[in-house]
């Protein structure tokens, strides 16, 4: 990935959940928070409710593939955490890609609402 590194630190995940903004869909939730760095960092979580290790790794692969295809459209300097919901394992990367294009990138380019830090 060109402008992206992987998130591995649990503290950054928690910070995104608590202080970041989010966009949700029936299959996925994406939390994002500015990080002040010249690149994006992404983290992907798939819990045990989504299935066994094979199914969870497939979920991570399709999210990563959808992100990679739209990476140039993302604004730079964000931490992004994707959380798969229970019915995501039947979906293809095209479904995730539509979510990224239609909802996530649009919301990330929108200024934050006033009164929220």
Express each pLDDT in 76-114 by its tens digit: 999 999 999 888 888 888 999 999 999 999 999 988 776
Predicted TM-score of the model (pTM): 0.90
Whether 73 shows a pLDDT value over 70: the answer reads yes
The answer to whether residue 48 sits within a structural domain is: yes
Question: What DSSP line would sit under 82-98, residue for residue?
Answer: EEE-GGGGG--HHHHHH
Residue ranges making up the domain that contains 14: 4-109
Residue 38 has a pLDDT of 93
Q: Where are the alpha helices (DSSP H) in the chain?
A: 10-19, 53-69, 93-99, 105-109
Q: How far is CA 94 from the centre of its chain?
A: 15
Which whole-number Å values give the CA distances from 99 to 10, 35, 95, in the listed order? 25, 22, 7
Q: Is residue 116 part of a domain?
A: no
Region of residue 51 (phi > 0: left; psi between -120 and 50: alpha; otherwise: beta): left
* Statement: residue 1 has pLDDT above 80: no
In a domain, residue 26? The reply is yes
Residue 114 lies in a domain: no
Query: Per DSSP, what are the bridge partners of residue 45?
Result: 83
The predicted structure's pLDDT at residue 90: 86
Assigned domain for 63 exists = yes
Model pLDDT for residues 10-65, shown as the tens digit of each residue: 999 999 999 999 999 999 999 999 999 999 999 999 989 888 999 999 999 999 99
Q: Is there a domain that residue 10 lies in?
A: yes
Number of domains in the chain: 1
Please report, for the domain that includes residue 91, its CATH number.
Answer: 3.30.230.10
> What is the band of 116 on the pLDDT scale with cuts at 50, 70, 90?
low
Residue 69 confidence (pLDDT) above 70: yes
């Amino acid at each position: 990935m060109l402008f992206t590194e992987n998130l591995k630190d649990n503290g950054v995940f928690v910070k995104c959940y608590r202080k970041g903004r989010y966009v949700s869909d029936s299959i996925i939730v994406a939390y994002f928070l500015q990080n002040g760095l010249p690149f994006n960092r992404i983290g992907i979580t798939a819990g045990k409710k989504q299935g066994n290790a094979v199914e969870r790794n497939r979920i991570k692969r399709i999210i990563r593939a959808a992100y990679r295809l739209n990476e140039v459209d993302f604004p730079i300097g964000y931490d992004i955490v994707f959380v798969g919901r229970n019915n995501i394992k039947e979906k293809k990367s095209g479904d995730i890609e539509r979510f990224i294009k239609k909802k996530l990138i649009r919301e990330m380019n929108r200024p934050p609402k006033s009164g929220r830090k």
